Amino acid sequence: MPCNIGFVSTRFAGTDGVSLESAKWAQILWDHQHVSYWYAGKLDRDPAVSMLVPEAYFYDRDNVWINERAFGTRRRTPEMTKKIYQIADHLKGTLYDFVDAFAIDILIVENALCLPMHIPLGVALSHFIAETEIPTIAHHHDFYWERARFSVNAVGDFLAMAFPPSLESIQHVTINTFAQDNLSWREGASSILVPNVLDFENPPPDEQAASLAFRERIGLDPDDIVILQPTRVVPRKGIEHSISMVAQLKDPRCKLVVSHESGDEGPEYHHALTELAEASGVDLRFVHAHVPVSGELRTNGLPNPTLGEVYAAADLITYPSLYEGFGNALLEAFYYRKPVVVNRYSIFISDIEPKGFKVITMDGFLTRGVLDQVRRAITDEPYRQEMVDYNYELGKAFFSYSVLRRKLRSLVTNFTGLDEL
């Protein structure tokens, strides 16, 4: 029997991992007649099936005030405690409204019960789930104990209660084995491992014409070499390593393109990268690619470039992240058949590298060997083609929609007792 699924988070908009993965889950569920509805503080979903609650956005003024006082200190004021509960109570009421308005059968909470970007929303969700016992899938992309900026805090009681809560109506989902193990020994909670996926059963469309137009639009010459870093502009993405790599290649045709906007950690890193690129003589471009939304335009009247167009224009992908919950951009490189340079972050080592993907790896720093492999991947067509075709087939085997379909079938069946997918 079809279910109404309610997705809940602080934001469903743009190209961050939570927004992208939730859309994939909704697509698989929709293929099997489960209808998805959306609740968040920032949304780019269809308004007819959404509830926008601005107070649930992590950049809401009151939430910013709370976060400024919650982390980096050990003590909080009574005023702050009162404000957390006041906002949580308001948000809990909107959750009741959301579930009633769309007759929600199952909640899927995306990262709002593991990363304390919005403490009142986590408290509201915990109270709401406890009061209603609504079947809930808590999809955890990042835990607070994985981020140094949350380690010193004045909200340990809230973190213990709501990030994540221990409630019988919640099924926990983690995206990598480290998170699964840590959740188990820290909280005594079991979880189902569901890796991030892409639709490898359906190859990407031919974007060659669009990619040529994109290259021309950003002022590239036909023989320019596009080295793409397909990540947000936040420090843990290690973009300074990409700048260093391009500088050491010493080829003026190499242009470094960063495809996503700044994240939730302020603009300082963006400014530092711009200054570093100028000092290093590296041509650095920020293009803000996105998943297409009908009618969206750039400020100059031209359509925003899509992720597909930007990937199609790339000659090499660089992914020097220091930490990742999983690594969507790495899967995208495999999907779009592009050679990729990867810093061996922990989840890559544990969950991706053992599958046997052919990538150029670095261990926190660049070496002459890495640069030699990069040059070969750019110039040696047969070598490059063999590498990317092999990676695509491995991606189809381990990180395709068929994997997600099997996992979601188990999760939904645990609540309904019926084989729904």
Task: Look at residues 64, 66, 51, 59 and name the one whose alpha carbon lies nearest to residue 8.
Answer: 51
pLDDT exceeds cutoff 60 at 264: no
CB atoms within 10 A of CB 33: 11
Average model confidence (pLDDT) across the chain:
92
- Strand order of the β-sheet with 35-40 is 50-52, 35-40, 4-8, 106-110, 136-140, 170-174, 192-193
Predicted local confidence at residue 298, as pLDDT = 41
Tell me the one-letter amino acid at 340: V
The alpha helices in 346-380, defined as continuous H runs, are 346-347, 368-379
Predicted local confidence at residue 306, as pLDDT = 83
Encode pLDDT of 46-83 as tens digits. 999 999 999 999 999 999 999 999 999 999 999 999 99
Please give the residue that has the higher pLDDT: either 291 or 301: 291
Predicted local confidence at residue 325, as pLDDT = 81
pLDDT exceeds cutoff 70 at 421: no
Encode pLDDT of 341-382 as tens digits. 999 999 999 999 999 999 999 999 999 999 999 999 999 999
Task: Look at residues 364, 334, 336 and name the one whose alpha carbon lies nearest to residue 349.
Answer: 364
Predicted local confidence at residue 293, as pLDDT = 42
Please give the residue that has the higher pLDDT: either 333 or 288: 333
Encode pLDDT of 392-415 as tens digits. 999 999 999 999 999 999 999 999
Which domains are present in the chain?
A: 4-197+401-416 (3.40.50.2000), 208-398 (3.40.50.2000)
Encode pLDDT of 129-182 as tens digits. 999 999 999 999 999 999 889 999 999 999 999 999 999 999 999 999 999 999
Distance of alpha carbon 100 from alpha carbon 105, whole angstroms: 10
CA 174 to chain centre: 13
Low-confidence winner among 175-184, 221-230, 259-268 (lowest mean pLDDT): 259-268
pLDDT, mean of residues 216-235: 91
Q: Count of alpha carbons within 13 Å of 96, Cβ hemisphere only?
A: 12
192-221 exposure pattern, b = at least 16 Cβ within 10 A, e = fewer: bebbbbbbbeeebeebeebbeebbeeeebe
Distance of alpha carbon 193 from alpha carbon 403, whole angstroms: 11
Predicted local confidence at residue 189, as pLDDT = 94
